[in-house]
Amino acid sequence: MLAAGAIFVATYIILGIQGIPRIHIDRPSGALLGAVGMVAFGVLSLEQAYQAIDLDTILFLLGMMILIAYLELSGFFEVLERWIIGRARSTLMLLGLTVGSSGILSALFMNDTVCLIYAPVIVRVTKRLRLNPVPYLIALATSANIGSVATIIGNPQNALIGIRSRLPFLEFTGRLWLVSALGLLLTFLLIALVYRKEVNRLPLRVPPPRNPAKIQRWLLAVSLGAGIAMFLLLCMNYHPPAVAMALASVVILAGSRKPRRALQEVDWTLLFLFAGLFVVMRGVQISGLTDLLFKRTRFLLEGHTLGSALGLAAAVTLLSNLVSNVPAVMLYVPLVETQPAPDRLWLLLAMASTLAGNLTIIGSVVNLIVLESAKEEVEISFLEHLKVGAPLTILTLVAGVLILSL
């Protein structure tokens, strides 16, 4: 237990604090070192480490990433974003379109992918219109987090929960779509209130893009067809990893170009992070450290009251902002799996860990993606984000817990 505890603490320090002086280790490398440490110090055997890696989750994420990569290469996202932003008639309408489109797209695709593609577009549009990009960039990040709550394919932690819980796709979405919809409305109202001097009803004309979008029609048809097929098969409760990998293979075979460029778009470091964390978390579980860490808060998992649900949401939020939401979920997964009726807890864990990402800049990878994409034009400070993120997180978490308690 001592060895597991030391490795766990060291791994989570690396995960939670980036930019440690003279130590240039990123999150995936930290997870790898933690996994190796669990085996090297005898917490796990090598065979147990192999078995700890959840290939279902890894393959599901990989298949999704390949499909999204081909959609991006086909020009789908570029066309969609230009169409959405081009319909704005005022700064208030531009805010509404940013919130609505990023929220909906993040429910259908991985939210980090949406922000990677969308953030530069918002920066360019606001620069050409001489608008302050901060409200729209904060809207993008917060809406992407909130929108992704609704489906198991919206973000990595939901994908993990969807695989482990085996909750049907439609049941998961049926319970959480209202949380996302209400959260997006609260996002729009709160940002419009905080930035009311800059976001208003004054007329706005978005100039057309200078260059036409590059569309590969055959690749677009194949990618969209595979995406639609994926939703239908998931709704019919086919095994998510099998669906994602089968359709990714179809797209690769039918694609009009070599797959190397699409595979370069896959976030391999995220998959690497997941694999390492699976091993670290299994070591923590086998050593008995999980029971020790959560001994005083186990009543939050076992309780069925509104107070226990709010307490669990608060605990998940705090942990998610210390070490990010994916590691936080991995720490809770073995605890939830042991509960007699875990469906409500799985949904609460998915909702709280995702909404928690809006609290601070470091609470979600999505926030960091938006900041990095816009850093050459504008810098959003910790407090600037917090004045929207803090009230929004509290409001959406309370609303989400109340909705799940109905």
DSSP per position, 30-68: HHHHHHHHHHHTTSS-HHHHHHHS-HHHHHHHHHHHHHH
Q: Please classify residue 341 by burial: count the beta carbons closer than 10 Å to its beta carbon, then call 0-12 exposed, 13-18 middle and 19+ buried.
A: exposed
DSSP SS3 for 202: coil
pLDDT of 257:
66
Torsions phi, psi for 355 (to 5 deg): -65, -30
DSSP 90: B
Q: Tokens 């930290």 — which residue?
A: 30
pLDDT of 241:
92
pLDDT of 319:
85
pLDDT of 125:
81
Rg of the chain over CA atoms, in angstroms?
A: 21
pLDDT of 354:
95
- Ramachandran assignment for 206, one of left (phi > 0), alpha (psi -120 to 50 degrees), beta (any other): beta
C-alpha distances (whole Å) from 259 to each of 160, 263, 268 are 26, 6, 15
Q: Which residues contact 381 (CB under 8 A, 6 or more apart)?
A: none
What residues pair up with 90 in beta bridges, in sequence order?
Answer: 203
pLDDT in tens, the chain (406 residues): 889 889 988 887 776 665 555 666 777 888 899 999 999 999 999 999 999 898 998 999 899 889 888 988 888 887 877 777 778 888 999 999 999 999 999 999 888 888 888 888 888 788 878 889 999 999 999 999 999 999 999 999 999 999 999 999 999 999 999 999 999 999 999 999 999 988 888 787 766 766 777 888 888 899 999 989 998 999 898 999 999 999 999 999 887 666 888 888 888 887 888 889 889 888 888 888 777 777 777 778 877 889 999 999 999 998 888 777 888 888 888 889 888 889 999 999 999 999 999 998 877 878 878 887 787 778 888 889 999 999 999 999 999 999 998 8
Q: Please classify residue 11 by burial: count the beta carbons closer than 10 Å to its beta carbon, then call 0-12 exposed, 13-18 middle and 19+ buried.
A: buried
CB 258 within 8 A of CB 251: no
Domain layout of the chain by residue ranges? 26-405
pLDDT of 210:
67
What residues pair up with 203 in beta bridges, in sequence order?
Answer: 90
